[in-house]
Amino acid sequence: MTLSILDLAPISSGRSAADALRNSIDLARRAEAAGYRRYWLAEHHFAPGVASSAPAVLITLVAAATTTIRVGSGALQLGHQTPLSVVEQFGLIDALYPGRLDLGIGRSGRRRAELAAKAAAAPVEPVPARTVDGLLIPPPFDFSQLAKYPHLAHYATLLQQPGATTPDFADQIDDVLAFLAGTHEAHAVPGEGADVEVWILGSSGGQSAQVAGERGLPFAANYHVSPSSVLEAVEAYREAFKPSDDLAEPYVIVSADAVVAEDDAKARELASPYGLWVRSIRTGAGAMRFPTPAEAAAHEWSQADRELVKDRVDTQFIGTPDQVVERLRTLRRVTGADELLVTTITHDHDDRVRSYELLAEAWDRP
């Protein structure tokens, strides 16, 4: 199947982190039964509503609970760890569950510095929304707004040793590849020779897309978090691509946020807390525990609130199985994606499982 899953191990209101982790393991088993190709775990920190703070640990638990589905990170933030520690972690998992691991890597440390610099620069002219062959490309969200929250900068220092600096991303990726191939001056054990597929995840046409292309690695473009720049990202990757020993042609996976139910009204009810959840992230508080539809309905929205989350809400794929499949096929066609990486969050676990099952069934139909 050309559908895969991205899981944040979301914690719902009234639930615990333990509940979220057990739900993720259960969802992974169900995803494998439904035929999904990959099951990726995100990395988030300081978020009251997300339990996926240590991807390698959670990947191990998911790999142990499944047998065939590929399991990986989407994305492990390389600015928080050294290439050696990353390769050793994934090499250890591969030693127990060989041939099933995807090491999806994202930037973090330097990305934060870039956003801080952008926040200090002069504002740019707003860009209007556009539709490209049926796919909505909303105005870009200014992520540099997050730099105005001092506590976020403080949190970032807690993820690194005092005085540590983040090396250049390209150099870090080269070290990861060298450790895996056994061509580094030092040897990662376990890790050297591990059958691990390395991916780069990116939200724009910047360094992540360039590095993925130049190293001949597969690339994951982020439509569900940064929909305005997805076309720029995949274009930059393809233009930079050079064949490698593992990949002769560019290979792209594109993420999407979707909620599926038997009827449109039910799907929209299940998805209704999403905007409030995104608001909690973009106001610097960190992802809140995912509310119930009733809890979300009680929130009094200002116009500024609505503008803050509009790009994410407008690009969610919500509806019946056939409706969502039609829109996802548009996303795949316009971006030229080889796969789609679907993330679904609902308050109740059973609704989330059912959404993925309905989507898989409809995707397989002619």
DSSP letter string, 51-84: --S-HHHHHHHHHHH-SSSEEEES-EEGGGS-HH
What whole-number distance in Å separates Cα of residue 293 and Cα of residue 258? 16
Q: Which residues pair with 131 in a beta bridge?
A: 136
CATH architecture of the region 3-364: Alpha-Beta Barrel (3.20)
DSSP at 336? T
Listing DSSP states for 18-42 in one string gives HHHHHHHHHHHHHHHHHT-SEEEE-
**Whether this model's pTM surpasses 0.85:** yes
Peptide bond before residue 298 is cis, with ω within 30 degrees of 0: no
Cβ burial, residue 168 (10 Å; 0-12/13-18/19+): exposed
> In the chain, where are the structural domains located?
3-364
SS3 for 163? coil
Task: Please name which of 73, 81, 77 lies closest in space to residue 160, comparing C-alpha atoms.
Answer: 81
Listing DSSP states for 185-220 in one string gives SS--TTTTT--EEEEEEESSSSHHHHHHHHTT--EE
CA torsion angle 164 169 171 175 (round to 10): 80
CA torsion angle 226 231 234 235 (round to 10): -140
SS3 for 251? coil
pLDDT tens, N- to C-terminus, the chain (366 residues): 899 999 999 999 999 999 999 999 999 999 999 999 999 999 999 999 999 999 999 999 999 999 999 999 999 999 889 999 999 999 999 999 999 999 999 997 555 555 555 544 555 677 899 999 999 999 999 887 777 777 788 888 888 888 888 899 999 999 999 999 999 999 999 999 999 999 999 999 999 999 999 999 999 999 999 999 999 999 999 999 999 999 999 999 999 999 999 999 999 999 999 999 999 999 988 999 999 999 999 999 999 999 999 999 999 999 999 999 999 999 999 999 999 999 999 999 999 999 999 999 999 887
What whole-number distance in Å separates Cα of residue 59 and Cα of residue 175? 22
> In terms of DSSP H, where are the helices of the chain?
17-34, 55-65, 83-96, 109-120, 150-157, 169-181, 207-214, 230-240, 264-271, 274-282, 293-297, 303-314, 321-335, 349-364
